[in-house]
Structures are given as structure tokens and as C-alpha cells.
Structure 1
Amino acid sequence: MTESNGLLLRQFQYDLPDERIARFPLAQRDASKLLVYRRGEIVHERFSGLPALLPKKSFLVFNNTKVIPARLYFTKPTGSIIELFLLSPFPNDLPISQSMEATGSAIWQGMIGNRKRWKRDETLLLQFAGDAEHSDIDISVSWYDYDQSLVKLSWQPADLTFAQIIHYAGEIPLPPYLKRDPTEADRETYQTVYSKQEGAVAAPTAGLHFTPAVFNNLSKQGIGYDYLTLHVGAGTFQPIKTEDVRQHHMHTEQVVYTQQNLQNLLQHTEKIIPVGTTSMRALESLYWMGAKLINGENEPFRLDQKYAYQLPTTDQPTVKASLTAVLQHMIETQQEALVAHTGIYITPGYELKLCKGIITNFHQPGSTLILLIAALIGDEWKRVYNEALQNDYRFLSYGDSSLLLP
């Protein structure tokens, strides 16, 4: 790897002073600042004015995943506290929304805090008061597969769903860089106003700025939009630790597409703007899944991080052909919704297929999200971030926003 390749970690770092990290949200979601980068020009606006700033006939794509209270704490008789951070249901090809409706018991993969104090044959218990309808709730957890970090949770009353159980017992998992405990207010403010499909352990934070008023103004401006679902995993916060950023192991996330998504996208292929990096990952993944389908490859709806860089240009279909192939597959197999898994890794040198820009917050130095932004606007990301720092923008999940149009 040589310097000219431009994919060394140090080239995607910048100095982010701690005081620029937004620890709490603004009282009014759409009052945040909005940096608009349009073909090299930068202007500073307010997010409430976004609809009028978008290119005419833009089509926005939102991620309607909902963050679950994924942190559970079990206290052993010795006083030791075991933290269970739920990541994904097992088996992982189950729709997460379906797993949230499980009753009586469920198997999940998790990250275990204080793991060495939890013996393989030990069952942990959690008892608490629910509400007037369910006054006493008992949860037990035991190892299902120690080496794979799989645990089995069981609960009483058994007719409660898994979603209800963690709503009572769990804690919203704020990003580690906020360096604070969650408050009751975070249960609302760390969700988008359009969040619907439970299953994420991190919010698609670009969407936190949207309000009913902004949506109303989108409609007035003739801006169309749609929702898909990508359940954001904890891997979104995983820092890159390799000098050559392409050696980083990318996490995989579950994404759900509907026939309506495909039909809408096919009508707007030249004007698609994702709201957030997760929406961009979902949209770009959809193209490559269609390509896999057209090329008759195995597991077309499971995308690894390298596939987008391996398919020769001559084997890459048009966007419309790719989307049409996925839609036809769904119609033929009578699937109204398609569950897929993507580990797509968007780095500089990647040619964007569906996305013509992005609405996104300001991301951590040296993160996979910075690489994605650099893939969209090249080295201009440094000028954008420098402008934001010089103009007192608030950074990361609860921070300000940007509209980037190359």
C-alpha cells in the first residue's frame, strides 16, 4: 500500500475537540444548523429550511428502524453486575421485527460486560415491577452457546412479547462517545419521529432533525420520500484499527426492502438522496444484490464487504435493470418484504450507483462513516469538516446536520 492509494487511516483523521461533541440534543429538533455543500460551494443554513434547499424533484429515502432498550443488567448474589448488550436475534436470518414478537423465551447474540464472572452453567435472574397490568416480571438468562456469545432469555408472564420485556427492563444504548448515562428523555430524543420497526441498537441519527413541520414542507416542495429498514448494529461505532483502511472488518446488518420500495426507486433513479449513512448503505447494497441476482450468484441477498469491488464493469447492470431484477424476484416468490444482510464497505474509489447526495451528521475521525463521505465528495470532506469546526457546529449523534451534493 502506497501513499498514492489514499486509503491510509491517517488520511481520514481530523482533530475533534471534546467540547464540540453534542452530549444532549437541542430542544427543537429542526433548529440545528445545516451545512450545505453543493458542487464545491458551502453555505450555512438551518435544518428547518431543508426542503427548499433540496434539488427539485428529489426523492428522499429514510431508515425507519427503531432503537431498542438493548442494555440489560443482572446482579449476581455476590453483588457482581453482568451487563448484557443485545446485538441480534438467533438465527440471524430471522426478521428482527418477528423476533421482537417472540413470547416466553428468545435467543440473542450479545456483548457481555464482566463476562469472566458469569459461569457457563449459571442462570442469572432479574425481577422487577412492571406496571398496573403486569405488576411482577421475572427474567432469567443462561448461556445458549458460550463461545458464540449466544444467550437464552426466558420470562414470566410468558405471554409478554420480547419487545415488551426489554421496554420494561432495558436501557437505551447511547453511543459510547457521549460518555454519559442515558436519561428517561433519551428514550424519545434518541429516536426519529418516524421510527417504526424495532431492532436497532443505534439510531439513524441523520433523521433526528426531521419534524412534522419539515415533512409538511417537503410535501409542499414536491419532494417525495419513502422508508426502508436497516437495523443499525453496534459495529457502526467500531473504530478502524488497521493502517490500510481496506483491511478493516466491516460489520453486517439486517435490511428489509418492500416491493413498494423498489417501485418507488425505479420511478426516481436520478434524484435519490438518502437520509443518513445507513440509508445509503441499504440503497447501494440493493444495487449489488440485483447484480448478484442477474449474474446467477449464490445468496444474492447476502452481501459481503468486498463484492462491490470485485465485479468487472462489464458485468455490472444498469441501476434500472438491477432494481427490476429484485422486484421481479419478489413478485415471483410472492414476497411483499425481503429480508437481506449487508456488509457493504463504501470507501474512496467506490462508484455510487443510486445515491446522488446525502443528508448526514458529522462523524467521528477515522471512522467508516468518514470513508463513506469521502467516497461521495472526495477530499472535499476535509474542507466541509473544517468549515463546520470553524463555525461552531455540534458534532456526532446529537449534533448538527449537512446536505452534501457532489
Structure 2
Amino acid sequence: MKTSDFYFDLPQELIAQDPLEDRSSSRLLVLDRESGKTQHRVFRDIIEYLNPGDCLVVNNTKVIPARLYGSKIGTDAKIEVLLLKRRENNVWETLVKPGKKCRVGARISFGEGLLIGEVIDVVDEGNRLIRFEYEGIFEEILDKLGQMPLPPYIHHQLKDKNRYQTVYAKHDGSAAAPTAGLHFTPELLEEIKKKGVHIAHVTLHVGLGTFRPVKVEDVTDHHMHSEFYIVEPEQAELINRVKKEGGKIVAVGTTSCRTLESATDENGILKAGSGWTDIFIYPGYPFKMIDRLITNFHLPESTLMMLVSALAGKDKIMAAYEEAVKERYRFFSFGDAMFIM
């Protein structure tokens, strides 16, 4: 299976640069994975495809304003730091630009000294471990100094930080949003609950590896980035109960999907707990837990294209994407949605 098998031609103007005013008014392409038939709807119509007794599983991670701009102490060189993973309380794995100016021992000042970072090590792929010094609460300082780490294909400045958060975002830790969830409003979630659909929460802190291109020709040679997930005991109990009673498990986004598939054992039982996952889902993967998937439209040749192809079949996905391009759907993080049923 080649990476190039997952290529499609996407006109630049279809890459959404701004979120819509009303989250739930995005378009929704519904794909029946058995027949390959498609329907064109509006996102709030998703409620028509959910039945009492089903379970919607959302990822309640919260994006942190992880992009910091500072200057190197001693030379005043401009430095950009992107927080990737918290290693210890005040030590983070980061991506630093320009890296050559930040060798071990380099100190960087942010916000005129409100936050100081010292490079203490160089790790995988040239990432830097930085130890931060500050007074007060790190999250509050970050909120003041940091910017939202928007994906590289979004060139517009985000006017409202909250538009790159889901309405149910709770646990700080992501460098990118679980974007399928951006379409839900509190009102739509309330309607879904009233219909008798359960809503369960899992947490997966999304890393920037989600945007990393697949550089190998053979898909199976690709090594996935690892991300931290949490499944709470009461949420595992709810999801397992719905599955046992015949309800559909509907994952909201590839991150919820990867969490559920990582934490489900060979007998199809979801285990509570936390840990790191580098699960790579591509065609041929036998799904253990999810039945349906709400997702955005993904980058050509990406691991996310491979995941949706594993669920619906590559040919059906490529045909649906061709139709989405023809119908002028909006693509990627701030774009429209797809429901694979």
C-alpha cells in the first residue's frame, strides 16, 4: 500500500481560513460505507442519524496557547517556541525556530522576563527540552503571552481564541484542536441528549505530529507520533454498556477514534486508564469499538486519510472526496464535516 494511493487534488481556495459564525451551520457530507452513497446536509442535521441508545464519544482536550515569541538573552535574537509535550511540571518538549540559535544552555525571555526558558537538552528530531522559570501559575502566564498554534495551512489571524476550542474543551494539553468537535454547539448537544443519545468523554492531547506528512513510500514503514490519552472508569463503563446493548458507538473525530481503539482489548472491552498511544490505523485494520465516525476533510496522503479509508474503504473515501471537491466543500480544520455511517 503506497502513500500516493491516498493523494487527491485539492484547489487551494477550498482550504477554509476562518471558522463560520455559527458552528453547526457547516455542511455535512454523509457517506454510507456499505453502499458508498452520499447525501449533502447541514451539520445540525447530524441528530437525524443518531438513535436513542447510541453513544457519541467526544474528546474533551483543550488547546493551550502553545506558540510563544521571545528573544535570546544576550543577543536579543528573535526566537519562536512551540510547546509540544509537558515532560515534568516546568519542563516541556518544544519545537524551536531558529534551532541553531538555541543550543543547550541558551536562555530565552518572553513577555519582558515574565517567563524565562532555558534549553536543557536536544531530543528526537531536534526538538528542545526547555525548563521554564516564572512566578505564579504557568497556565495564566501562557494565556497572557501565548498564541493559538494554528495549523500551517491557515494563514489568517484568529480573532477569537475560543473558535479553535470545542464547546466542551476541559483538560489543558493539546497543541492542535480535535476539529470534528468544533461543529457542535451547546444547544445541539442538548437536543442530542434529549433524543436519548448518550454523550461520553475521553481525553487525547493532540500533538503537532497530526500534521506531520508521511514521507515514506510504503505506508507500513511510517512511524506514528505518540499522544497521551485518558479514559475515566465511568466513561468506559457507559461506552461498554451501550456497545453491549447494541447501540452505535459514534466517535467524534479521529482523536476519539484512536483513543477508543487504543484502549479497547481484543475482546472488544474498553479499559479505563491512561497512557501513550502511537496507534496507526490504515486499511486492513479491524475496528474493535467504533461503529461510526464524524470527521472533517483531511490532507492528501495523511495518516488521517488512511484512518478514514480503513473505516469506509479507500475507493469509497476517494470517491466521496472527489464529490466534496466538486461540490465546493470547505476543507481541513475550519472546514465542513463528514459522517461515515
TM-score after normalising by structure 1: 0.79
Aligned AA for 2:62? K
Partners of 2:240 and 2:221 in 1: CA distance: 34
Partners of 2:230 and 2:193 in 1: CA distance: 25
Partner in structure 1 of residue 327 of structure 2: 391
Match of 2:263 among 275, 280, 286: 286
For residues 207-243 of structure 1, what are the alpha-carbon distances to aligned partners after superposition, in whole Å with 9 as ceiling and x for unaligned? 0000012112202321111111000001000010111
Partner in structure 2 of residue 127 of structure 1: 111
Q: Does 1:360 align with 2:336?
A: no
Match of 1:233 among 204, 207, 228: 207
Match of 2:153 among 177, 190, 200: 177
Partner in structure 2 of residue 275 of structure 1: 252
For residue 202 of structure 1, give the secondary structure of its aligned residue in structure 2: coil
Match of 1:88 among 81, 85, 89: 85
Partners of 2:107 and 2:326 in 1: CA distance: 53
Partners of 1:250 and 1:256 in 2: CA distance: 19
Partner in structure 1 of residue 267 of structure 2: 318
Matched ranges for 1:193-232 at <5 A: 193-232=167-206
Structure 1 moving runs of 4+ over 4 Å:
none
For residue 120 of structure 2, give the secondary structure of its aligned residue in structure 1: strand
Q: Given that residues 51 and 223 in structure 1 are in contact (C-alpha distance below 8 angstroms), is that contact kept between their aligned partners in structure 2?
A: no
Structure 2 unaligned spans of 5+: none
Matched ranges for 1:300-379 at <5 A: 317-319=266-268, 322-323=269-270, 326=271, 338-378=273-313, 379=315
Partners of 1:111 and 1:119 in 2: CA distance: 13
Q: Given that residues 280 and 355 in structure 1 are in contact (C-alpha distance below 8 angstroms), is that contact kept between their aligned partners in structure 2?
A: yes
Aligned AA for 2:267? T
For residue 175 of structure 1, give the secondary structure of its aligned residue in structure 2: coil
For residues 285-316 of structure 1, what are the alpha-carbon distances to aligned partners after superposition, in whole Å with 9 as ceiling and x for unaligned? 011xx4xxxxxxxxxxxxxxxxxxxxxxxxxx
Aligned AA for 1:348? P
Partners of 2:203 and 2:123 in 1: CA distance: 30
Q: Given that residues 52 and 221 in structure 1 are in contact (C-alpha distance below 8 angstroms), is that contact kept between their aligned partners in structure 2?
A: no
Q: Does 1:114 align with 2:98?
A: yes
Q: Given that residues 70 and 108 in structure 2 are in contact (C-alpha distance below 8 angstroms), is that contact kept between their aligned partners in structure 1?
A: yes
Q: 1:37: Cα distance to partner?
A: 1.1
For residues 91-114 of structure 1, what are the alpha-carbon distances to aligned partners after superposition, in whole Å with 9 as ceiling and x for unaligned? 5xxxxxxx5xxxxxx100011111
The structure having more radius of gyration, on CA atoms, is: 1
Q: Given that residues 251 and 343 in structure 1 are in contact (C-alpha distance below 8 angstroms), is that contact kept between their aligned partners in structure 2?
A: yes
TM-score after normalising by structure 2: 0.93
Structure 1 unaligned spans of 5+: 1-6, 92-98, 100-105, 129-136, 291-316, 328-337
Partner in structure 1 of residue 117 of structure 2: 141
Q: 1:203: Cα distance to partner?
A: 0.2
Q: 1:340: Cα distance to partner?
A: 1.0
Q: 1:126: Cα distance to partner?
A: 2.3
Q: Does 1:150 align with 2:109?
A: no
Match of 2:47 among 48, 51, 65: 51
Q: 1:384: Cα distance to partner?
A: 1.1
RMSD: 1.5
Partners of 1:83 and 1:55 in 2: CA distance: 47
